[in-house]
A and B are shown apart, each in its own frame.
Chain A
Amino acid sequence: MLRFILRRLIYGIITLWVLITLTFILMHNLPGDPFANSQKLSPEAKATLMKTYGLDQPIWVQYGSYLKKIATFDFGVSFNYPTRSVNDVLKQTFPTSAELGMYAIIIAVIIGLTLGIVAALNHNKGWDYVAMLTAIIGVSAPAFVIGPLLSYFIGVKLGWLPPALWKSPEYKILPTITLAFGTLATMARMMRTSMLDVVSQDYVKTAKSKGLSRFAVVVKHTIRNAMLPIITILGVALVNITTGAFVVEQIFAVPGMGKFFVQSISTNDYTMIMGMTIFYAALLIVAIMVTDVMYGVVDPRIRLAKGGK
């Protein structure tokens, strides 16, 4: 197991390096530069700035010095907000984004799986249709449609919940639902299919032939096996939720990382783009690694196939 994790860690670092390099090249090939928007800048002043930030040097020299810097976890100072380092921005905004993401994934998993299970156990009956209708809406309606609708009707028209901002718990409900909805729907559909598949397996028949109650058969023999494929998509779900958060944060004015990420690209804020990309990438690489390890924990067959405990 330890060797497996170590190997995955090395792969992760290689992936990250490829990502850094690609982003670096792409970013420098974007038209303009970090100071293109400041029209007041005289050519001399601009040249001075370029020199200060090392942007006058050949690109591979910049690349080398950048790699050296991030090896010490120093992402540099934002070009756009010269008073703040990228690390500061991350420290300030990440907890909010993480909180929103966590709520969303928890809600998506719990409600999604429940819907899927209920649908499968009532296959082709009323509850199945209700659950699947919800799921289809969730899969087909993007967050930028659901978000404003919720914000307008529940927040503004009915006034049940605050339509935007991120303060006390009731503020957090609508953004969480919006962010969770798509993933929740995918989970529900996957779980339903998976359950229906497992229900017809021979080992479920074996479990019944032992005289176990319907409840025991479902909980001990069906759900656990049906969850195996769900765990594989958990990593992908996490990616969807983190990227989906950009949009949801904008809709509900949540002070998360999303705003900075999107802005940094339009303003050519090199250090910010790199910092955000690396941070997100590392986060997702770790998340997917954790899913893989989890898969091994839940499915004994994988545990052995990956080279023993």
Chain B
Amino acid sequence: MSNNILEVKDLKVSFHTYAGEVHAVRGVTFNLKKGEALAIVGESGCGKSVTSQAIMRLIATPPGEIKSTSSILFDGKTDIVKLSDKEMENLRGSEMGMIFQDPMTSLNPTMKIGKQIAEGLIKHQGLSKQAARERAIEMLRLVGIPNPEGRVDQYPHQFSGGMRQRVMIAIALACNPKLLIADEPTTALDVTIQAQILDLMRDLQEKTGASIILITHDLGVVADLAQRVVVMYAGKVVEQGSVDDIFYNPQHPYTWGLMRSVPRLDNDEKQELIPIEGTPPDLIAPPKGCAFAARCPYAMEVCLEADPDITKINSGHSASCWLLHPNAPKVERPVEVGGHHNG
């Protein structure tokens, strides 16, 4: 039990809009072990960012609402959903840090880099300005910024995108948090810089032992950094398991679709990428059955009527699909791009 840094149970988040209540996250459950890197994947609007922001309690309420039946147990004892704002402030930044998608906009343009790193240190660790500044320089060096003594007094516009993301990582890790949430940390960067940032994150995870939640829609990034994967669709977890489980033995048709829509470099055959047809359902009025049924080539009658239960494949691998029911017809997993199954 205490092996988990984070236990998310039945997390439900809604946004109250003029059009109605948008059920962005509809009962998400997953655990994160200490020192583990977990990836949350899914297409835009599936609720992965909302999930991560709910964990940080960064969702503006109103219009957002984290349902009171949800629980997010941090470090085995603190339920984030029930914390007061003040208690949450003390947790944020010190115990958990966050990196955002776009490094060009996520730093304050009128504040020196050093000060932006130091702020959290002064607040959470009670450091003096001077001590915090020294620690900021140390952090800049740690994230691989050359000449940190000179850079510490510069402004964000004097840094490139990749360098800014390094600064963001420095801010997030300044207080040695136990949990780092990275919301698409490489999406806005070009490919060579992406690789550097991922290397840096892996490196820092080893050094600090922090657990990571990585939000992404890039399966390449998942394979690179994560040990476990949560696949989300329309505000629900459809499948979760280890990287090997998800990549080599996926069970949910949506995961199959995701795998088939990504190009592979490990074979020379002519490749055709197969998109998942259709669009995700409207979350103002989510379907009563499986949310993926409308786009699923294997959908049965029951899929439209009732939501499937979670089926355990092995100890860490589970999926929610009627095809896994003992009475369901056996469906052959479609051949992936590249023409062969691994595993």
Chain A contact residues, CB within 8 Å of chain B: 201-203, 205-214, 216, 220-221, 224-225, 228, 298-301, 304
Docked complex: B76-106 residues within 8 A CB-CB of A: 85, 88-94, 97-98, 100, 102, 105-106
Chain B residue contacts of A220, Cβ below 8 A = 111, 119
How many angstroms from the CA of A220 to the CA of B171 in the assembled complex? 16
Tell whether, in the assembled complex, residue B106 and residue A211 are in contact, meaning their CB atoms are under 8 Å apart: no
- B275 → A minimal CB distance (Å): 30
B94 and A211 within 8 A (CB): yes
Contacts of B155 in A (CB 8 A): 300-301
In the bound complex, CA of A213 to CA of B92 (Å): 10
* Contacting residues, chain A, for B97 (C-beta < 8 A): 209-210
Given contact pairs A208-B92, A211-B89, A212-B119, A300 touches B105 in the complex (Cβ within 8 A):
no
Asked if B109 contacts A210 (CB within 8 A), the reply is no
A-B contact count (CB 8 A): 81
Q: Which of B85, B110, B123 contacts A210 (CB 8 A)?
A: B123
CA distance A203 to B104 in the complex (A): 9
Kindly list chain A residues whose C-beta atoms are within 8 Å of the C-beta of B109: 203, 225, 299-301
Contacts of B111 in A (CB 8 A): 220-221, 224
B168 part of interface (Cβ distance < 8 Å)? yes
With CB as the reference atom, state the residue of chain A lying closest to B91: A211
Q: Are A212 and B157 in contact (CB under 8 A)?
A: no
B148-190 with Cβ < 8 A to chain A: 155, 157-158, 168, 171-172
Distance of A248 Cα from B123 Cα, bound (Å): 49
Residues of chain B at the chain A interface (Cβ within 8 Å): 56, 58, 85, 88-94, 97-98, 100, 102, 105-111, 116, 119-120, 123-124, 155, 157-158, 168, 171-172
Name the contact of A213 in the complex, choosing from B89, B94, B107, B108 (C-beta under 8 A).
B89
**A202 x B120 contact (CB < 8 A):** no
Residue among A205, A221, A225, A301 making CB contact with B100, cutoff 8 Å: A205
Would you call A206 and B157 a contact (CB within 8 A)? no
Q: Which residue of A lies closest to B158 (CB)?
A: A304
Say yes or no: B110 contacts A298, CB within 8 Å. Answer: yes
Determine the residue in chain B with the shortest Cβ distance to A225: B110
Is the Cβ of B105 less than 8 Å from the Cβ of A202?
Answer: yes
Other-chain contact of B58, A208, A228, A298, A300 (Cβ < 8 Å): A208
Q: Cβ of B172: which chain A residues have Cβ within 8 Å of it?
A: 209
**Of listed A209, A212, A225, residue having the most chain B CB within 10 A:** A209
| Contact A210/B92 with A202-B102, A300-B157, A301-B157 known, Cβ cut-off 8 Å | yes
Given contacts A209-B98, A213-B89, A225-B109, list 9 more A-B pairs with CB under 8 A: A203-B105, A205-B100, A206-B107, A206-B108, A207-B108, A209-B58, A211-B92, A300-B109, A304-B157
What are 18 A-B pairs with beta-carbon distances under 8 A? A205-B58, A206-B98, A206-B108, A206-B171, A207-B108, A210-B123, A211-B93, A211-B94, A211-B123, A212-B89, A212-B119, A212-B123, A220-B111, A221-B111, A224-B111, A298-B110, A299-B109, A300-B109
